[in-house]
Copies of this chain bind each other. A is one copy, B any other.
Amino acid sequence: MTKTNPGNFFEDFSIGQVIRHATPRTVTEGDRALYGALYPTRFAVPSSAEFAKASGLDPAPVEELIAFHIAFGKTVPDISLNAVANLGYAECRFHRPVVPGDTLSTTSEVIGLKQNSNGKSGVVYVRSTATNQRGEVALDWARWVMVHKRDHDAPAPETVLPELADSVAAGDLVIPEGLDFSDYDFAAAGEAHRWDDYAVGEKIDHVDGVTLTDSEHMVATRLWQNTAKVHFNTQARPDGARLVYGGHVISMARALSFNGLANAQLIAAINAGAHAAPAFAGDTVYAWSEVLEKAETSAPGVGALRLRLVATKDRDESMTLRNEAGKYAEGVLLDLDYWALVPR
């Protein structure tokens, strides 16, 4: 019998099934340094222990996307090793800051199943939860993936479609305990714009671009222990190109958004995310944002902005999301809908 992991196929999943994913992973200051070396991030809270402390967070949390990528990466061998496509995610909430020394483990529960009409594959919906070493929830999210069937003759399961919110309601956002922006240092943070300065519908072109390399996206993807072969192996795709991990594009766009959103210090939730096109080494990634919604919070000096973060291949100063046919415009790589916490 083979000792290697064949991954789960569509017929291996059942509603209510709970999967504990390997491997627990301790976050360190090394992760923070590498994240800063891979993405042009300058957000003051994760960059500066002093700024974080002055904001009520001590020790300084690492960027939420570090926790997201680590937690997500663990699910790959069990959920999406035999995936046809990653279809989407929703209801991702960050429940508490992750700090160096925390050890993250991830568990997934199957919450939906729908076999495709061709009988060769199906869509699996899971809710994944990452906990720290004290068993506290660090983040959770829902995700759905199209997965191959091993045996096309295996019977179709009963279709169950979970109800997933279009976005996390402002009232359901978890504000990190102790967060206080009432004495916020705008000069140190890099920009003067506060919550009140952003208007729903406003778009921001983040100006800067970064050209991707294979070494960098592989280093990033490995750091999160995401071992999906298409990212690393030129023999895994007919065109010999390594596919850039979608999370690499998310982190690059989020870091580029500093220029115009320097005060969007923390990510509280990810409402939805779509990878509209694949990215490859040599592509130059730009980003623009749109303010979708504004909400107050109970924390002193803290407001919430719901933002659309769009990554594009090449710069699109027109900031066009969709073409006339309603499809993603040429060049759109990522359409991410998230909540950020911002000083008022």
Interface residues of A (CB under 8 A from B): 2-5, 20, 22-26, 28-34, 36-40, 42-44, 47-51, 60, 77, 100-101, 103, 105, 133, 187-191, 193, 197-198, 204-211, 213-216, 218-220, 222-223, 225, 227, 229, 232-236, 242, 259-262, 282, 284, 314-315
Q: Whose C-beta in chain B lies nearest to the C-beta of A49?
A: B26
Known A-B contacts A25-B47, A26-B60; the reply to A232 vs B209 at CB < 8 A is yes
Cα distance A207–B133 in the bound complex, in angstroms: 32
CB-defined contacts of A232 to chain B, threshold 8 Å: 40, 208-211
Residues of B within 8 A of A60 (CB): 26
Give the docked Cα–Cα distance between A234 and B43 (Å).
25
The residue of chain B having its C-beta at the shortest distance from the C-beta of A45 within the complex is B23
For A26, what are the chain B residues with a Cβ–Cβ distance below 8 Å?
Answer: 47-50, 60
When distances are taken between beta carbons in the complex, the residues of chain B under 8 Å from A218 are 210, 213, 216
Q: What is the count of identical protomers in the complex?
A: 3
Given contacts A48-B23, A218-B216, A261-B3, contact A208 B233 (CB under 8 A): yes
CB distance from A83 to the nearest CB of B (A): 16
Complex CA distance for A26 and B43, rounded to whole angstroms: 12
Q: Report yes or no: A36 in contact with B189, Cβ–Cβ below 8 A.
A: no
Cβ-defined contact, B37 with A219, below 8 A? yes
CA–CA, A222 to B197, complex, Å? 29
A158 to chain B, nearest CB (A): 27
- Report the minimal beta-carbon distance from A289 to chain B, rounded to whole angstroms: 9
A188–B31 Cα distance when bound, in Å, is 21
Docked pose: A189 CA to B25 CA in angstroms? 11
Q: Which residue of B lies closest to A289 (CB)?
A: B3
**Which of A22, A232, A260 is the most central at the interface, judged by chain B CB atoms within 10 Å of its CB?**
A22
Q: How far is A197 from B193 in the complex, measured between Cα atoms in Å?
A: 58
Among A50, A225, A229, chain B packs the most CB atoms within 10 A around the CB of A50
